[in-house]
């Protein structure tokens, strides 16, 4: 360290409660770091005590990897947003992309916008029914593929006349084995808009099969079927 100033290295040191017999040596090492600040050694010490003593010695390496990586990347955490306004306050899509570009260059990792950040931005665009912003996101970040929150995104696409995408989302939910009656009802609404009245009625019947007759949606779907039959 004396011969190589400005190393810029990172050390994450950790011990479990059953490993405290090595604490003195850890302290000697950190003392060397403090004495040679010109070497630019970034270090952090953690005493891990989340597990009962019989197993913590074996789990310390895994804990160290998890906590150490979180510490190392703490100045550029993966982003998450809580409204479209929140994204705007951050600086908009361009600022988010620049953040991940700087993050990638800083740590030699991907410069792509993180998956959590992408999801939170698309999620709020849908939740606030902001189709214009959703389109901007897709223009900048690529087509959004729905693998969760099927009801939200399916309804969002349907409300914005993106019927093919809405149909794909509801079908993907059903293909995944989900049984929420609203997925079949969502398909029924799409087919009704497309003039496929018989198919829409069949989907409402499938939705009703997931319900008890006393549930409010049951009567709503029954009434929808009667309206479709009158049109067919």
Are 151 and 201 contained in the same domain?
Answer: yes
Q: Is the pLDDT of residue 149 over 70?
A: yes
Are 216 and 165 contained in the same domain?
Answer: yes
Q: Is the pLDDT of residue 190 over 70?
A: yes
What number of CA atoms fall less than 13 Å from residue 20's CA on the CB side? 6
Domain holding 137, by residue range, is 77-142
Average pLDDT of the segment spanning 129-154: 97
Are 46 and 110 contained in the same domain?
Answer: no
Number of domains in the chain: 3
Are 112 and 94 contained in the same domain?
Answer: yes
pLDDT in the model for residue 42: 80
Question: Among 142, 164, 199, which residue terminates a domain?
Answer: 142
Are 169 and 127 contained in the same domain?
Answer: no
Are 160 and 218 contained in the same domain?
Answer: yes
How close are the terminal C-alpha atoms of the chain, in Å? 83
> Which 3-state string (H, E, C) describes 5-47?
CCCCCEEEEEEEHHHHHHHHHHHHHHHHHHHCHHHCCEEEEEE
For the ranges 7-16, 101-110, 119-128, the maximum mean pLDDT occurs at 119-128
Q: Is the pLDDT of residue 95 over 90?
A: yes
Q: Is residue 201 assigned to a domain?
A: yes
What is this structure's pTM?
Answer: 0.74
Are 129 and 188 contained in the same domain?
Answer: no
């Amino acid at each position: 360290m004396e011969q190589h100033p400005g190393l810029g290295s990172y050390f994450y040191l950790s011990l479990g409660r059953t490993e405290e017999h090595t604490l003195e040596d850890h302290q000697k090492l950190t003392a060397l770091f403090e004495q040679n600040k010109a070497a630019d050694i970034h270090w952090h010490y953690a005493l891990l005590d989340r597990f009962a003593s019989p197993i913590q010695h074996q789990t310390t390496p895994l804990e160290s990897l998890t906590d150490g990586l979180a510490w190392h990347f703490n100045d550029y955490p993966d982003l998450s947003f809580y409204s479209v306004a929140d994204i705007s306050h951050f600086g908009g899509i361009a600022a988010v992309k620049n953040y991940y570009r700087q993050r990638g260059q800083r740590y030699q990792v991907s410069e792509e916008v993180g998956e959590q950040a992408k999801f939170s931005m698309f999620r709020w665009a849908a939740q606030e029914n902001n189709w214009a912003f959703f389109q901007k996101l897709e223009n900048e970040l690529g087509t959004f593929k729905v693998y969760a929150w099927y009801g939200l995104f399916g309804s969002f696409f349907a409300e914005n006349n993106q019927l093919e995408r809405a149909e794909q989302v509801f079908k993907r939910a059903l293909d995944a084995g989900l049984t929420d009656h609203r997925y079949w009802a969502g398909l029924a609404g799409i087919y009704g808009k497309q003039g496929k009245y018989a198919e829409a009625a069949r989907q409402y019947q499938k939705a009703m099969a997931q319900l008890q007759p006393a549930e409010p949606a049951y009567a709503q779907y029954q009434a929808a079927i009667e309206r479709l039959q009158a049109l067919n």
